[in-house]
Structure 1
Amino acid sequence: METILRRLQLASGVVLLIYLFLHLVNHALGIWSIDLAGHGLVLALRLWHSVPGTVLLYGGTLLHFSLALRTIYGRRHWTLSRTEWIRLWAGLSLPLLLIRHAVATRLASSLYGFEPNYERIVILLITSGTQGLQLALLAPGWLHGCLGLWLRLRHYPRVRRAKPALLAFLVGMPLLSAAGFVRMKHAVVAMRATLPAADPILVAHQAALETWRHNLVTLYLSLIISAFVAGQLRNWLERRRLRKASFNL
């Protein structure tokens, strides 16, 4: 069972890593033009909004998160290496990105008919002041996935020999993505003398979408804290039972 769960964790993690990779690539295409990035976005939406893509992305997210909760609950100690701490921090930030992204795009599209494109997304991020947050949340999720793959594959000699190239890829993709987003931001601002308000659909339903986001983030954080507290309580009860058993002996 443990082997099966590890494989499921790896498979679901790879799905999320592919999603992040395509997201970073889409942003990076903005270095050349916002139109090219838009074409990449259309292809990504076709992939992830299709039935198989939806099942893979959201099913993989739920599976990966469920297994993460199981890991948090099952830990007997929290003496971790620096790499593991970085990976844990980066992984816990990924759902925050997915929640914000899913609410602002997928949920807004399904409930209210919002059709996302890069110009609308850039305007939304600028007017809401969250463009920095968007970029800041992409990088930790990417770091978490890459470190997870490295920890699984580092015992292979070819992978160890490719470490410098892999490190350059790990650092380079978020930097290219950030450069592409900044270039698209400048292009959108340059095209318009006055930056318009966010899309009317999003403005009209902003309160409802914000409520969705707040509730999902609260649920996510509550589950993380509950798993940790429940695990610590179980550990305390086990230690107490062992102390009583040793005392009776």
Structure 2
Amino acid sequence: MEMQPISRHLQLASGVVLLTYLFLHLVNHALGIWSLDLAGHGLMLAIRLWHSTPGTILLYGSAALHFSLALRTLYGRRHWVLPATEWIRLWAGLSLPLLLIRHAVGTRLAASLYGFEPDYEKIVISLISSGTQGLQLALLAPGWVHGCLGLWLRFRHHDFMRRAKPALIALLVGLPLLSAAGFMHMTRIVEAAGAHLPAPDPTLLAHRVALDDWRRDLLMLYAALVIGAVGAGLLRNRLERKSLAEP
């Protein structure tokens, strides 16, 4: 089998894993429309899935693989004249690692290094106290859009996809809206629990500087890799054009 088909299959498989992660994350938030406890039960199930050894390998392995293939695609582009759908998918896809980095540092890394035990109340309080609750919602939606567009572009020629298009559009738009509604409802519940917002988790407070350093360093590394891949590709294209222009 040639490398191109292999990379396409790997991209699809890793993308489906990440889209499943986002789907469950959005559903968890949406459960907050009914109650904080229900969303908390959903979170515990998600933690059991993704924090298990197989789940960890699957999620972070898929993220690393999908990102590596994305860098390869960015480097390999011969031109940047793209249709609007591709620009949207590209923008949305590049936003997804921003969410994963923030989430991994604030929950998984904090749990592994400092014993933080996440639940929705602690997470909501942490986001409110840091003023990043809007960013959390804003980063979930682009990753969802990227994954859904990727699947649509891959399978749009199949009859069942064309027949299901109205339902797929409803899911594409509706799930992030339900997720935002659930998260905002949980925020109101937490804020209404007392006259003042409860203090953030002491574990997160004690190690906030270290976690912020981790987050900043990983975001800088991510930005450097993306910019480096694009820049190296542009330089290669320029050198190739110059070589062809020479007699």
TM-score by length of 1: 0.98
Deviations 1:130-152 (A, max 9, x none): 00000000000000000000000
Q: CA deviation at 1:8?
A: 0.1
The answer for unaligned runs of 5 or more in structure 1 is none
46-55 or 183-192, which deviates more:
183-192
Mapping for residues 152-231 of structure 1, pairs under 5 Å: 152-231=154-233
Distance (Å, rounded) in 2 between the aligned partners of 1:35 and 1:192: 17
Task: State the AA in 1 paired with 2:243.
Answer: R
Q: CA deviation at 1:124?
A: 0.5
TM-score by length of 2: 0.98
Identity %: 73
Distance (Å, rounded) in 2 between the aligned partners of 1:169 and 1:195: 34
Superposed CA RMSD: 0.6
Q: CA deviation at 1:18?
A: 0.2
Q: CA deviation at 1:193?
A: 2.1
1:9 maps to 2:11: yes
Aligned to 2:137: 135
Task: State the AA in 1 paired with 2:221.
Answer: L
Distance (Å, rounded) in 2 between the aligned partners of 1:24 and 1:174: 6
Q: CA deviation at 1:190?
A: 1.4
The answer for unaligned runs of 5 or more in structure 2 is none
Deviations 1:58-84 (A, max 9, x none): 000000000000000000000100000
Deviations 1:88-132 (A, max 9, x none): 000000000000000000000000000000000011111111000
Distance (Å, rounded) in 2 between the aligned partners of 1:114 and 1:146: 32
Distance (Å, rounded) in 2 between the aligned partners of 1:88 and 1:153: 18
Distance (Å, rounded) in 2 between the aligned partners of 1:174 and 1:154: 22
Distance (Å, rounded) in 2 between the aligned partners of 1:98 and 1:60: 12
Distance (Å, rounded) in 1 between the aligned partners of 2:101 and 2:25: 15
Q: In structure 2, which of residues 102, 105, 114 is the aligned counterpart of residue 103 of structure 1?
A: 105
Deviations 1:162-221 (A, max 9, x none): 111100100000000000001111111112221122111101100000000000000000
Count of aligned pairs: 245
Aligned to 2:122: 120
Distance (Å, rounded) in 2 between the aligned partners of 1:11 and 1:49: 20
Task: State the AA in 2 paired with 1:39.
Answer: H
Distance (Å, rounded) in 2 between the aligned partners of 1:119 and 1:200: 13
Three-state SS of the structure 1 residue aligned to 2:182 is: helix
